[in-house]
Amino acid sequence: MFTSMAANPVNPNQPLSASALFSLTGNQLTIQVNNNSAPETQRYVDSDVLTGIYFSTEPLNLTPQSATAPQLVNAAGTTVCAASCDTRDGWAYQSLTLPEFGLFNGISAVQSPVYIFSNFIEAGKPLGRTNYGIVPGTYPDAGGTNLDTGPYSLGSATFVLNVPNSFMLTTIDRVVFTWGTAADQPWGAGYYDTSYDILGNPEPSTWILTATAAAGLLARKTSQARARRRSM
């Protein structure tokens, strides 16, 4: 299984969780990013909103093409767009000169010195805080919400980027997910297992990566590998 969780700084009893599906078709890389957190026991706040994904330990210089969500909702959870919602105004891709989390490519909804204007669309607008960020599919819960901006991508967002002919999915060697804004940003490192079969017989160009801040899981895998080597 490729599931793991990151600590929630506001509600420790409700861990954060995210996943990303990377797929390659021709010269287009598609990244479906999901906020998999379960229903909250407290009201949703900014740190529950998935606002960024960083990937690859080398700059890839990709060209952003589109950003969509299956549904957009406002702070009250009321539907703003029912299907195939355009979220290009809310996100920016950058191939970084200085790495974030040791990674050189990122997609973010939060404005920073690096991410200023959305660039999935021409004449992009200034990025917001959690605007167009991804809230869990259960949003809002019965307890209501403290969020007051929006709109928000409900459950997931899908990004399409053009890649050069030489691009291979093996360059996606590390992933980090971020939630919230720069001031309260929790994050979770990602990992993958190429033996995981999520679709029965996945195409070779499809990889699943899921957020994790549980370093113990990676340490356990490392110790198991060492144990296997010692037994040889």
Q: In terms of C-beta density within 10 A (0-12 exposed, 13-18 middle, 19 or more buried), how is residue 102 classed?
A: exposed
Print the domain residue range for 158.
18-231
Q: Is 6 inside a domain boundary?
A: no
Q: Is 10 inside a domain boundary?
A: no
Per-residue burial over 165-178, b = 16 or more CB atoms within 10 Å of its CB, e = otherwise: eebeeeebebbbbb
Identify the weakest region by mean pLDDT among 41-50, 122-131, 176-185, 207-216: 207-216
Pairwise CA distance, residues 224 & 148, whole Å: 46
Q: Is 185 inside a domain boundary?
A: yes
Q: Is 7 inside a domain boundary?
A: no
Identify the weakest region by mean pLDDT among 126-135, 159-168, 180-189: 180-189
What percent of the chain clears pLDDT 70, i.e. is strictly above it? 80
Identify the weakest region by mean pLDDT among 35-44, 81-90, 164-173, 200-209: 200-209
Query: Based on the structure, what is the number of domains in the chain?
Result: 1
Q: Is 11 inside a domain boundary?
A: no
Q: Is 31 inside a domain boundary?
A: yes
Pairwise CA distance, residues 225 & 187, whole Å: 26
pLDDT in tens, 79-109: 999 999 999 999 999 999 999 999 999 999 9
What is the structure's pLDDT at 205? 43
Q: Is 4 inside a domain boundary?
A: no
Q: Is 23 inside a domain boundary?
A: yes
